[in-house]
């Protein structure tokens, strides 16, 4: 078990790379430079099946990245979406 290898979920910012996701789902050819989404996340996507290390990966995604991700059947089978609750109130 190497928990430090997992990137912890970032509840401040979506962790998807929509330009890469769009690219790999829809086209072939060279991969574009990954550009991380900067929207606020609303879903936590958790792997249903643990990886080889026995750990479940998870990442936060915004609504549009979530929809993009769920266009992929293999992703729908692999991840479970959990709504992010307990939003912090602004201005504190």
Residue 21 within binding range of Zn ion, rule CB under 5 A? no
Given a contact cutoff of 8 angstroms between Cβ atoms, the answer to whether 59 and 51 are in contact is no
| 14 binds Zn ion, rule: CB under 5 A | yes
**Helix, strand or coil for residue 81?**
strand
In angstroms, what is the minimal distance from the CB of 13 to Zn ion?
Answer: 8
Task: Name the 3-class secondary structure at 32.
Answer: coil
User: Is residue 69 at the binding interface for Zn ion, with CB under 5 A as the rule?
Assistant: no
Contact status: 65 vs Zn ion (CB under 5 A): yes
Q: How far is the CB of 16 from Zn ion (least distance, A)?
A: 5
75's enclosing H/E stretch is: helix 73-78
């Amino acid at each position: 078990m190497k928990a430090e290898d997992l990137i912890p979920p970032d509840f401040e910012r979506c962790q998807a790379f929509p330009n890469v996701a769009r690219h790999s789902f829809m086209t072939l050819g060279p991969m574009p430079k990954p550009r991380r989404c900067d929207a606020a996340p609303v879903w936590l996507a958790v792997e249903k099946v643990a990886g080889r290390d026995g750990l479940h990966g998870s990442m936060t995604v915004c609504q549009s990245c979530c929809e993009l991700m769920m266009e992929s059947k293999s992703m729908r089978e692999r991840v479970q979406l959990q709504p992010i609750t307990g939003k912090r109130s602004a201005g504190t």
